[in-house]
Structure 1
Amino acid sequence: MASVLIENNVCEEEIFVKNDNDLSSKNVYGDTINYNLHLGSHSFTIGWIIKSLRENDKKFIKLHGNRGISDATWYDVSEGKGFLSIVLRITLTFVDSKSSDDVYTTILKIPGIENYHQIFDKSEGFEIKYETILKICELHNTECGFYTDIAPILSIPLPKVFKTKIWDLGKNEGCIHMEDLRDYGKVINYYDSASVEQVKNVIKHLALMHKQILTDKEKVWKGKYLCGELAASVMLEKCLEKFLEWCEYKEPYVSYINKYKKFMLNKNFFTYALKEALKELGIIPVIAHGDLWGGNLMWKTNDKGEIETDIAAFIDWQNMFEGSPMNDIARLITNNCSGEIRREIEKDLIENYYNQLKKEMEKEGLAIPYTKEQLKKIYQIQFILEAIVNFILFKLSETTNKEKDSKIKKEMYEIAMLKTLHALEDMDHLLQGDLKYLFERFGQ
């Protein structure tokens, strides 16, 4: 069924540690590389990577399975932007490599806190606590669970994952070993705007995924992934403070924030939006990606390297949870579309998603389990949540923005400010209109 899966669907607890000497004692490939070379300060070795590739990566086996390996280099492709993990691109050179291009690359994602304080500085009040580390550990293990429990039943574009290793805090590091998607697509950043056509393609994939979740008979995931993005509420107050520091044009931002600060900082609203609202509206939950913004979507590229409208892969599933069918759509269009494009999409968003899911369910001889009114209401609630979470993404993006051209950086800042203003305007409209009851409940 699945078009892209874990190659061998393996979750490894003891992948190479016990067998670290096996590979060297059975070196039938003519490798000259030191298998025990560690990837920086991490426990994983080059031997671990080579063994995983030769056992699980079908592409590597087909193209290079019998070639000896002479060298390896690696670097963190996230460049500090992934504050919950580092993502190593590992390049292997062969004994008989004919040129500098005759190499093979693979990706190892390792959770940790190395990049945390590059983004959240201690001086700003962002302290790394043991509970935070436990949460990061849980998020990594959730992503491992996605690739072992859920990816096999889905037909949406996903990266091929070769091995996953649970992070057992204090005992062993965790990791996800996967294919390098660099040649297949590109991500967009917070300052870029997805187009109407790109969003429509995302909706098609989400409708298919939701159908497959709703019709899955085994439901091995049921009740296992309930946390969602509640952790975001912990960072929000400091992010709001930083936003106001950076804000060159205080109004109308200050007025909106003062008006809704109590509401935005009320963790009970986060719980309501992510969990209770579904029950209140009678909405059957699906698996939500939980962090579907431009950095976690790889778009296909053309021969010129230009981004197109089709999806190459949905990546970074550590925030996955049982949630609303509108959760991911709201995150994407609130945080990775300009206000103008988001408003254009919203005109027929519910109709579009409803028709896509209806078509998918009818293929199984089933009726769609939602009404348009249910979808409209839960989208409005999710939009409010994402308008709030936008302040966190603003902080992350401004802190990690490495643009050196001051003029371009200023333009990026202006894009972010305008997007934030449009989100605040529409949040205000809803909380004084259709969703006023929520403001009265959580903001007074």
Structure 2
Amino acid sequence: MTSIVQLFAERNPSLISTFERLLPFYNSRDFFIRILRDSHKEIGLSDVLCHGDLWFYNMMWKTAADFNNNDSDKRASNEIGALIDWQNIHTGSIGEDLGHMLAFCCDSPVRRHVESEYLPQYFKDLKEAVEQKGCQLKVTFEQFLRAYNRQFIAHAMHLPFIACVMLSIKETTPEERQRRTEILVQRTQDCWNDALLRLQEEFPEYFV
């Protein structure tokens, strides 16, 4: 992955200085294992079931026709119809799928808004849903948010690799390709900046 990310940075020089700050982490297999496999356990959380590749390419939406009795209305609704591509299903962190989806699918203003406004609501709804089943969610909101922040670091670092895939999916005009590149470069820069802040907060030992 590192060589592809480095190539993406070299093709977009505004990314180079931040990439160089992250390079020691990109080169550390142990670091990625710690983040992805063990970091939630370090803050007292047990494994949960993870989809493993949750982003918009693996989400199918119900159509508006499902709700308005108009069979010809094929617009996507706001309700998920199915999640597909479960080949990477595994046990892991409660923050993994959210970190993956928000890093890969959202421009930074949207992602940051979701993090501040909707993650607290998500946790509240999750807790209520678990309790309605007669169980107890043995996770505090602080643990949940820390688990998300730790997972976000890894997925923010993975984003430019996926950006290269996104840019090669279908033929576009040069103008459209340039516009898409600019969006993904900015998204990468913002994700990297936030990842560095969260690295310093969650893993200060790497900065001694």
**Whole-angstrom distance in 1 between the partners of 2:76 and 2:171:** 20
Q: 2:148 aligns with which of 375, 379, 398?
A: 379
Return the alpha-carbon distance in structure 2 between the equivalents of residues 403 and 304 of structure 1.
29
3-state SS of paired residue (2:86)? coil
Greater helix content: 2
Q: For 1:84-103, list aligned pairs within 5 A.
A: none
> Which position in structure 1 is the counterpart of 2:92?
323
Establish whether residue 403 from structure 1 lines up as the match of residue 171 from structure 2. Answer: yes
Which residue of 1 is the match for residue 42 of structure 2? 280
- String of CA shifts for 1:242-282, please: whole Å, max 9, x gaps: 202431xx12x111111110112211121111222122111
Q: Secondary structure at the match of 1:390?
A: helix
What code does the residue aligned with 1:277 have?
A: S
Equivalent residues of 1:350, 1:372 under 8 A apart: no
Q: 1:336 aligns with which of 86, 102, 105?
A: 105
- Residue among 7, 24, 36 paired with 1:242: 7
- Deviating 4+ runs (over 6 angstroms): none
Quick one: distance in 1 between partners of 2:135 and 2:195?
A: 35
CA–CA distance in structure 2, aligned partners of residues 440 and 425 of structure 1: 15
CA–CA distance in structure 1, aligned partners of residues 162 and 205 of structure 2: 24
Equivalent-residue separation in structure 2 for 1:292 and 1:391 (angstroms): 17
Residues 245 and 306 of structure 1: CA distance in aligned 2, closer, same or farther (over 3 Å) = farther
Assess if the C-alpha contact under 8 Å between 2:47 and 2:91 holds in 1: yes
Please give the alpha-carbon distance, in whole angstroms, between the structure 2 residues aligned to 1:361 and 1:334. 26
Q: Which of 189, 196, 203 is the aligned partner of 1:428?
A: 196
Could you tell me how far apart the structure 1 residues matched to 2:42 and 2:198 are? 18
**Alignment partner of 2:25 out of 257, 263, 272:** 263
% identity of equivalent residues: 28
Q: Which residue identity lines up with residue 204 of structure 2 in the other structure? A: Y
Unaligned stretches of 5+ residues in structure 1:
1-235
Counterpart secondary structure, 1:341: helix
Secondary structure in structure 2 of the residue aligned to 1:388: helix
**Structure 1 residue 438, shift from structure 2 partner:** 5.3
Q: CA offsets per residue over residues 208-245 of structure 1, 9 Å max, x none?
A: xxxxxxxxxxxxxxxxxxxxxxxxxxxx1121132024
Aligned counterpart, 2:83: 314
Question: TM-score w.r.t. structure 1 length?
Answer: 0.43
TM-superposed CA distance for 1:403, in Å, is 3.2
Query: In structure 2, the residue corresponding to 1:305 is in which secondary structure?
Result: coil
Q: How far is the alpha carbon of 1:429 from its aligned partner?
A: 2.1
> Which residue, 51, 59, 66 being the options, matches 1:289?
51
Secondary structure of the residue aligned to 2:193 is helix
Alpha carbons 1:263, 1:439 under 8 Å: kept: no
Residues 368-420 of structure 1, C-alpha deviations (whole Å, 9 max, x = no match): 110111111111100101101102211211232x2332222221111111111
2:183 corresponds, among 403, 408, 415, to 415
**Closer/same/farther in 2, CA of residues 411 and 305 from structure 1, 3 Å limit:** farther
Partners of 1:326 and 1:382 within 8 A in 2: yes
Q: CA RMSD in A?
A: 1.8
CA distances 1:69-100 after superposition (whole Å, capped 9, x unpaired): xxxxxxxxxxxxxxxxxxxxxxxxxxxxxxxx
From the CA coordinates, give the structure whose radius of gyration is larger: 1
Asked whether the 8 Å contact 1:242–1:395 carries over to 2, the reply is no
SS of residue paired to 1:399: coil
Between the aligned partners of 1:304 and 1:417, the Cα distance in structure 2 is 35
Distance 1:317 1:355, change over 3 A: same
Distance between the aligned counterparts of 1:337 and 1:438, measured in 2? 30
Q: Compared with structure 1, are the counterparts of its residues 277 and 404 closer, same or farther at alpha carbon in structure 2 (3 Å cutoff)?
A: closer
